[in-house]
Chains A and B, each alone.
Chain A
Amino acid sequence: MISLLLAFAVGSLFACGTYLIMRRGQIKLILGLALLSHGVNLLLFGSGRLTEGRPPIFLNKADYAETLSSSLPADPLPQALILTAIVISFGITAFVIVLVNRRHTVTQTDYVHGELTPLLREGDPFDFSESAELDQYDWLAYEVDEVYDSEELLTGFPTLPPSEQDESTAMEQDQYRWP
């Protein structure tokens, strides 16, 4: 009975997690990932035996075989596995939250620009002009510190007016001095 309940719990966690991941919203995505990891943890929990009130502790070494044959104790290993999995999923969820937050700050949108966007639009499917704009970024620019240090964090990327370009290239030169 309890194992049936567990199976239903695992199944519904997986279903809800999958559904949430398929939504467009970023918060739903995070929640979906969290639900999925809970589903897996429960499944790992069930992969040991589901016992009640039989801890895997033997008071007497002599009769452990009899104790085992009369009633199987709980399996301690899945708990260790779950603990590891919880720690990992905790770290990853924290990372995803930071990433989503960062992305929202940078792009000011909740909408993920997909690879298939040109195909989903009407017109020429091989027109990459829209994604071209997204690609026009400078992988050598590192606004990281500037953005973190300033109020630009709230307003997206700082774009320098043409008059200050020279100053920025001088800064760049400084950053590319041989370390």
Chain B
Amino acid sequence: MAVSANLLAVPVAAPLLTAALILLFARWGGRTLIRHQIALTALALCINLAAAALLFRAAAGQGQRFVLQLGAWSAPFGITVYGDGLSATLLLMTALVALAVYPFAVATIDYHRARMGFHPLYLFLLMGVNGAFLAGDLFNLYVFFEVLLMASFVLLTVGAQPAQTNSGIRYVVLNLLASTVFLVAAGIAYGTLGTLNFAQIAERLPLASPAVRTVFAGLLLVGFGSKAAIFPLFFWLPASYHTPPPAVTALFGGLLTKVGVYTLFRSFTLFFPELLQDWQPVLLTIASATMLVGALGALAQPGIRRVLSFHIISHVGFMLMGLAVALSGNNLAFGFGLGAAIIYLCHHMIIKTALIMAGGAVELHMGSDRLASIGGLVSRQPFLAFLFFTAAISLAGVPPFSGFVSKLSLLQITLDTRHWVVSGVSVFASLLTMMNMMRLWRESFWGDYSRPSRVPSRILQSSVRQRLMLTPVAVLVLLSLALGIWGEPAFRLSMQVAQQALDRQAYIEAVSPSAQTSTLPAGLFTVPAETVSTILSKEN
């Protein structure tokens, strides 16, 4: 089946339209309405998954690039929507994670949060994430960032528990600061290069002065890096992720930081491939620090969800390490680092979501997620214990699971490129991950059964809800197992995706086949020595 570029609109339009439809009737209230909301949301998630799967097959499997110029306005003037293998991989993973978390959310989100608009917010968050993966220019990327941030602000704070409002403020302020930095970068790009379109920025950036390039790259690194929670900029994440209901934490843990990682991948490979070489020591240092701080910080955390969310930071460090060595290595292994980072990203999205959901189930059974006050659950909930254990060892990188393939490939490329220190750090961080996971397992499942601190939640009295909670975890663990078993084809696919993403010229030609300009337009930040007349004469 031939895939049209119009399919690119579906991952944004389907959640948006469904959420708008739900909101139209949201004020009527009532349980019947919530049931309809759930059905509609599930439908939108399925449509999204189908579209993402089609796109993935065409873009990642067959190496196509899809460009949708909205309203048929050509590239620099209209809104460009761009989808290639990298975008499609992330779209597919996002669709999977969103669809997997949704049954868990339906089972555990209470009626009041549902009435406050949980289901449409879920779709708005999905729309923002999908839009960020598809955006073809900086300003639309900013807009989609804000869409997903706004949805996440409300999802984080709906319910207004004291801890939620406390963490909400820190999350909101730090993310707004990151958005501000990113918007400054967009302003500087427009002022110096006269364009916001990704392809044109990539085309014109070599003409700009090195100072402009450095400032632009630095601002993007800070802006996207704090979305991705890299080393000195991660403080919003451990401050907030443990406070909302576990369904929200699972969704955030699966999706939000990955948007930052994707934008880092996209901007560094497309705009400044040379900086990947020049800044490699800096990037590797940041990556090592992120890995270490994430794993060590998780060791000091007192609760399951606190450990798991702090640990996300460590994984971001692994992905950044893959990006830093993306262009290193010999010609045969071109893009090896990025390919390894992409497969790591997929593994992380799957298994982290599964673990947070399993942790949420533990929290429900024990009435608390504080490791000091829980224990011995393995005798009461063997299936949950089994799922948690398999997910945990997959995260730690034990062979039959996806964690092994992704960690091995990342380690291989760092060893091949002779970055001994960072590869040592990554092995050490993996060891710490193992320690963390075993600590969680020991404290919550082994030992004497400790009575729950309060009456077990009513959710657990419904067997339908129980099944809705555990089935997605089981599916995600199986997916991780499949990714581990079919590791070689999966890795070959992610190598293709990486090589496609690293091919800048093809990106530029796919988006704007127009004539190349050799001069920069006059803006505030450039001296208008060469004026528009020369550009115009060239066009005529």
Show the binding face of A for B, using Cβ within 8 Å.
Answer: 3, 6, 21, 26, 29, 33, 36-37, 40, 43-44, 46-50, 65, 68-69, 72, 75, 77-78, 81, 84-85, 88, 91-92, 95-96, 99-100, 102-103, 106-107, 112-115, 126, 128, 132, 134-145, 147, 157, 169, 172-173, 175-179
8 Å CB interface, B148-181 against A: 149-150, 153-154, 157-163, 165-166, 168-170, 172-173, 176-177, 180
Contact between chains at A3 and B524 (CB < 8 Å): yes
Contact between chains at A47 and B190 (CB < 8 Å): yes
Contact between chains at A95 and B153 (CB < 8 Å): yes
Name the CB-closest residue of B to A172.
B458
8 Å CB interface, B362-387 against A: 368, 370
Contact between chains at A115 and B239 (CB < 8 Å): yes
Contact between chains at B531 and A175 (CB < 8 Å): no
Contact between chains at A176 and B165 (CB < 8 Å): no
Contact between chains at B160 and A102 (CB < 8 Å): yes
How far apart are the CA atoms of A88 and B112 in the complex, in Å? 27
Distance in angstroms from A150 CB to nearest chain B CB is 14
**B465 within 8 Å of A (CB atoms):** yes
8 Å CB interface, B279-337 against A: 300, 302-303
**B207 within 8 Å of A (CB atoms):** no
Contact between chains at B191 and A47 (CB < 8 Å): yes
Given contacts A48-B190, A92-B150, A128-B302, contact A99 B162 (CB under 8 A): no
Contacting residue for A49 out of B143, B186, B370, B523, CB 8 A: B523
Contact between chains at B160 and A65 (CB < 8 Å): no
Contact between chains at B166 and A113 (CB < 8 Å): yes
Contact between chains at A107 and B162 (CB < 8 Å): yes
How far apart are the CA atoms of A136 and B524 in the complex, in Å? 54
8 Å CB interface, B235-256 against A: 235, 238-239, 242-246
Contact between chains at B176 and A92 (CB < 8 Å): yes
**B421 within 8 Å of A (CB atoms):** no
| Central interface residue in A29, A40, A72, A139, by most chain B CB within 10 Å | A139
Q: For residue B149, which residues in chain A have a CB less than 8 angstroms away from its CB?
A: 92
**B536 within 8 Å of A (CB atoms):** yes
Name the CB-closest residue of A to B111.
A175
How far apart are the CA atoms of A58 and B533 in the complex, in Å? 16
Contacting residue for A176 out of B158, B166, B462, CB 8 A: B462
How far apart are the CA atoms of A65 and B533 in the complex, in Å? 7
How far apart are the CA atoms of A172 and B370 in the complex, in Å? 23
**B188 within 8 Å of A (CB atoms):** yes
